[in-house]
Amino acid sequence: MMKPCKTSFQSPFAAHIEAFITQKRALGYRYGAEEHQLRRFDVFCVEQKITEPTLTKELTEQWIEKRAGEAAKSQHLRCSAIRQFALFLSSCGLAAYVLPVRENTVSQSYAPYIFSAEELEAIFHAADQMTPCTVSPFIHEVMPMILRLLYGCGLRSAEACHLKKCDVSLDDGVLTILNAKNEKDRLVPMSDSLADRCRTYSERMELLCPDTAYFFPNKYGGCVEPFTIYPWFRRFLFEAGISHRGRGKGPRVHDLRHTFAVHSLRKMAGDGMDLYCALPALSMYLGHENISATEKYLRMTAAVHPEILGQLQCVYGNMLPAADLEVAQ
């Protein structure tokens, strides 16, 4: 059941904040931490004697100013909450300053590698050339399938590795991801072609390893682990002619998930989908705890596919400043 929004807001933004939180929860977000930040913003507006529901640049910058002793993560959450609220106000036809996306000082310095379609094809082809080996008798079946699932569904490595047979609905083409990061469960639909490949893979594995509960088993009956994937992935990169920048510098297996997100946004933009609706949908599909974790893909998409930059800027305004894009490239 959707958790109702408390009705104790007092500022001129009260009705809009309530409507915004209700919308987020209708989309499946818990929105607890963000609601707390918006409550604080509501009190802040009352204290500042704000009389009109106009989110100005001055008001926004006063609100996000770093407080004494405040952790960078807390400030980032305030920035993300007010940015999303501003986008909501704009979608309602109200004047609102949309805070530009800023680098999350909590995040790592690693720059994700976004694979091209040709590079993905080369990686999958290299995986398809694997032959059985005594050390890991099923790996030649597991690796081609698990890599396609990591990219085709944007899964985290652990999510794919720990899938059980009962989590993969071959009839419906839907994955059930349980106990994932941030304790979020979710349903992940597959494309028709990926679901067909899963069915073929499952039929072969039933002959090779019928007694395991796992969709990607090891020779002991358990599941393959993420650390098993990495050395094979390095080999596939080499065979595909893709340079590796050294350990910790990538490309990494996790970049398949990043690539899925960027390619999905590009397709949504190309199909003319409303990107204000697209980002929350992608966030839910990826299993992110809040939408701020998904916002980084806007800049990645604009940097890798500049042809859709105009559409992104039309929807998100100055969230995509030129300086950020130059860094992202």
What are the residue boundaries of the structural domains of the chain, listed by start? 14-91, 117-239, 255-328
Q: Which two tokens stand for residue 28?
A: 């499946």
Name which residue leads in pLDDT, 279 or 195: 195
Alpha-carbon gap, residue 209 to 321, rounded angstroms = 53
Q: Which residues contact 120 (CB under 8 A, 6 or more apart)?
A: 151, 259
- The b/e string for 280-301 (b: 16+ C-beta within 10 A; e otherwise) is bebbbbbbbebbbbbbbbbbbb
- The b/e string for 218-232 (b: 16+ C-beta within 10 A; e otherwise) is beeeebbebebbeeb
Confidence of residue 3 (pLDDT cuts 50, 70, 90): very low
Q: Which two tokens stand for residue 88?
A: 């909501």
CB atoms within 10 A of CB 207: 7
Tens digit of pLDDT for each residue in 115-154?
999 999 999 999 999 998 887 889 999 999 999 999 999 9
Are residues 60 and 86 in contact, defined by beta-carbon separation less than 8 angstroms? yes
Are residues 155 and 177 in contact, defined by beta-carbon separation less than 8 angstroms? yes
pLDDT of residue 102: 62
Q: What is the average pLDDT across 202-210?
A: 93
Q: Tell whether the model's pLDDT for residue 106 goes beyond 90.
A: no
Confidence of residue 269 (pLDDT cuts 50, 70, 90): confident
pLDDT of residue 182: 66
Confidence of residue 2 (pLDDT cuts 50, 70, 90): very low
pLDDT of residue 205: 95
Calculate what percentage of the chain has a pLDDT beyond 70.
82
Q: Where are the alpha helices (DSSP H) in the chain?
A: 14-26, 32-47, 57-64, 72-91, 117-128, 139-153, 157-161, 192-208, 226-239, 255-270, 275-286, 292-304, 309-316, 322-328
Alpha-carbon gap, residue 98 to 186, rounded angstroms = 30
Q: Tell whether the model's pLDDT for residue 259 goes beyond 60.
A: yes
Architecture of domain 117-239: Orthogonal Bundle (1.10)
CB atoms within 10 A of CB 84: 23
Q: Are strands 168-169 and 186-189 parallel, antiparallel or unpaired?
A: unpaired
Tens digit of pLDDT for each residue in 293-324?
777 776 676 666 666 555 555 544 443 333 33
Q: What is the average pLDDT across 271-294?
A: 78
Phi-psi region of 63 (alpha: psi -120 to 50; beta: other; left: phi over 0): alpha
CB atoms within 10 A of CB 126: 22
How confident is the prediction for the chain on average, in pLDDT?
A: 83
Are residues 26 and 2 in contact, defined by beta-carbon separation less than 8 angstroms? yes
Alpha-carbon gap, residue 174 to 185, rounded angstroms = 13
Tens digit of pLDDT for each residue in 50-93?
999 999 999 999 999 888 777 777 888 889 899 989 988 988 88
Confidence of residue 190 (pLDDT cuts 50, 70, 90): very high
